[in-house]
């Protein structure tokens, strides 16, 4: 949605969270403090996911409420969205879908909105084109990435009257100054989109008030903040719970300088990647934590924490902890040069990921035509 105001500088680098920007976050602990989150506590989550165990989810709000609902098998919901402004998604989106899958497997009633209205308002994509992209690619992609279509409620913003009606109610609960303080912009299209998002986030509670969790990247924090404020103001009338949130770390672009974005043609790894030769060429360009010379690499070892190739394997491609540990230790020990490491780990396991996705995507495409959408 719209741009969040920069925080004041406290040292050399300010914290800037922008849904349309491309800056990476250097210090997640500062974000937790400045945006009123809690550090992610893996101990409270039942059967934590790989993302949770590997520190990819770094913070949250009211996740203890969701954990309690999971443990006691009480009703709660999970909601995520599809922005059909592009014809593909990238690796960062796959990470969010994986987090949604975790909550779904632990009892969440799962909603996936197709943001065709927002895509038209903020990206200029006509409603019908957005629907076409969602039906032909985005929805089957989300299913291929692990969502159970039988347990997922899909809907288009343009067709869901409950969402648009609730958006109107929400618009009466925030002042212009409050909106500016959250988003920093009052462009008409973005104002409209923001309130539709509020309708999206809160509408599952119209039939029955219950806790909900919204898995997002930190760039979506403005939406979470406003939805929580509005939910509290509507509690006496609707009984709404303030939505909880979990926050994923950004996925780096190939050069390691920016976050991966579907709006940037350079530096992203897309899903799908139909040309595997081109994919391998891109992966070979990924930033590494290697030393300046071969001799220094052998003597001092590499720095995997600075390596985008390792990040992709850790966050997306390598599910086996033993294999990931081998990659990490081989780097530290200088056992492999960076090119060798990319061949042995990054390219090998990326191809496995895409082989698996392609098979599941082909099956998922056959399901979409039979699906019913919420209205």
SS (H, E, C) 127-155: HHHHHHHHHHHHHHHHHHCCCCHHHEEEE
Rounded to whole angstroms, the Cα distance separating 156 from 150 reads 17
pLDDT in tens, 121-131: 989 999 999 99
Other residues' Cβ atoms within 10 Å of the Cβ of residue 269? 23
Q: For position 264, what pLDDT does the model report?
A: 65
Question: Under 8 Å CB-to-CB from 229, ≥6 apart: which residues?
Answer: 173, 174, 178
Q: What pLDDT is recorded for position 14? A: 47
pLDDT in tens, 185-235: 788 988 999 999 999 999 999 999 999 999 999 889 999 999 999 999 999
Q: What is the pLDDT of residue 359?
A: 98
The domains found in the chain, sorted by start residue, are 28-253 (3.40.50.620), 272-363 (1.10.240.10)
Alpha-carbon torsion, ordered 42, 48, 49, 53, to 10 deg: 40
At 212, give phi and psi (nearest 5°).
-140, 155
The tens digit of pLDDT for each residue in 64-76 reads 999 999 999 999 9
Highest mean pLDDT among 84-93, 127-136, 245-254: 127-136
Lowest mean pLDDT among 8-22, 165-179, 347-361: 8-22
Query: Who contacts 195 (Cβ-Cβ below 8 Å, separation ≥6)?
Result: 167, 168, 170, 171
- pTM score, whole prediction: 0.90
The residue assigned the tokens 């443990």 is 71
Q: Give the model's pLDDT for residue 265.
A: 62
Q: What is the pLDDT of residue 8?
A: 37
Helix (H) or strand (E) holding 33: helix 28-34
Q: What is the pLDDT of the chain when averaged over all its residues?
A: 91
| Dihedral angle computed from the Cα positions of residues 102, 249, 243 and 165, in that order, rounded to the nearest 10 degrees | -100
Instruction: Determine the pLDDT at residue 257.
Output: 78
pLDDT class of 97 with cuts at 50, 70, 90? very high
Q: What percent of the chain has pLDDT over 90?
A: 82
pLDDT at 334 over 80: yes
Residue burial 20-35, b: 16+ Cβ < 10 Å; e: rest:
eebbebeebebbbebb
**Comparing C-alpha atoms, which of 193, 198, 267, 205 is closest to residue 227?**
198
What b/e sequence results for 100-128 when a residue is b if at least 16 CB atoms lie within 10 Å of its CB, and e otherwise? bbbbbbbbbbbbbbbbbbbbbbbbebebe
DSSP 247-290: EEPPPBPTTSSBB--TT-SSS--EES---HHHHHHHHHTS----
């Amino acid at each position: 949605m719209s741009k969040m105001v920069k925080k004041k500088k406290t040292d050399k680098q300010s914290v800037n969270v922008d849904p349309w920007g491309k800056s990476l976050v250097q210090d997640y602990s500062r974000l937790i403090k400045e945006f009123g989150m809690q550090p992610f506590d893996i101990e409270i989550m039942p059967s934590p996911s790989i993302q949770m165990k590997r520190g990819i989810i770094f913070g949250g709000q009211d996740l203890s409420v969701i954990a309690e609902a999971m443990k006691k098998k009480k009703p709660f919901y999970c909601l995520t969205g599809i922005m059909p402004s592009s014809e593909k998604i990238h690796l960062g989106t796959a990470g969010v879908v994986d987090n949604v899958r975790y909550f779904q497997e632990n009892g969440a009633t799962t909603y996936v909105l197709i943001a065709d209205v927002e895509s038209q308002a903020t990206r200029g994509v006509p409603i019908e084109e957005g629907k076409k992209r969602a039906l032909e690619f985005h929805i089957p992609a989300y299913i291929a990435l692990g969502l159970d279509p039988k347990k997922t409620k899909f809907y288009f913003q343009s067709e869901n009257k409950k969402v648009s009606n609730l958006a109107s109610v929400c618009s009466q609960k925030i002042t212009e100054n409050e909106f500016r303080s959250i988003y920093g912009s009052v462009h008409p299209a973005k104002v409209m989109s923001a309130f539709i998002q509020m309708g999206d986030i809160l509408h599952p509670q119209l039939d029955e008030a219950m806790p909900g969790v919204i898995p997002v990247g930190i760039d979506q924090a403005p939406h979470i903040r406003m939805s929580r404020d509005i939910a509290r103001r509507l509690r006496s009338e609707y009984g709404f719970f303030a939505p909880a949130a979990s926050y994923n770390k950004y996925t780096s672009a190939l050069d390691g300088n920016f976050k991966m974005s579907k709006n940037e043609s350079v530096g992203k790894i897309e899903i799908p990647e139909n040309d595997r030769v081109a994919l391998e060429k891109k992966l070979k360009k990924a930033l590494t934590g290697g030393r300046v010379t071969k001799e220094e690499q052998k003597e001092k070892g590499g720095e995997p924490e600075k390596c985008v190739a390792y990040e992709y394997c850790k966050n997306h491609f390598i599910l086996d902890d033993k294999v990931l540990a081998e990659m990490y230790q081989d780097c530290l020990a200088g056992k492999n040069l960076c090119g060798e490491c990319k061949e042995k780990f990054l390219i090998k396991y990326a191809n496995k990921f895409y082989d698996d996705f392609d098979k599941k995507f082909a099956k998922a495409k056959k399901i979409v035509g039979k699906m019913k959408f919420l209205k």
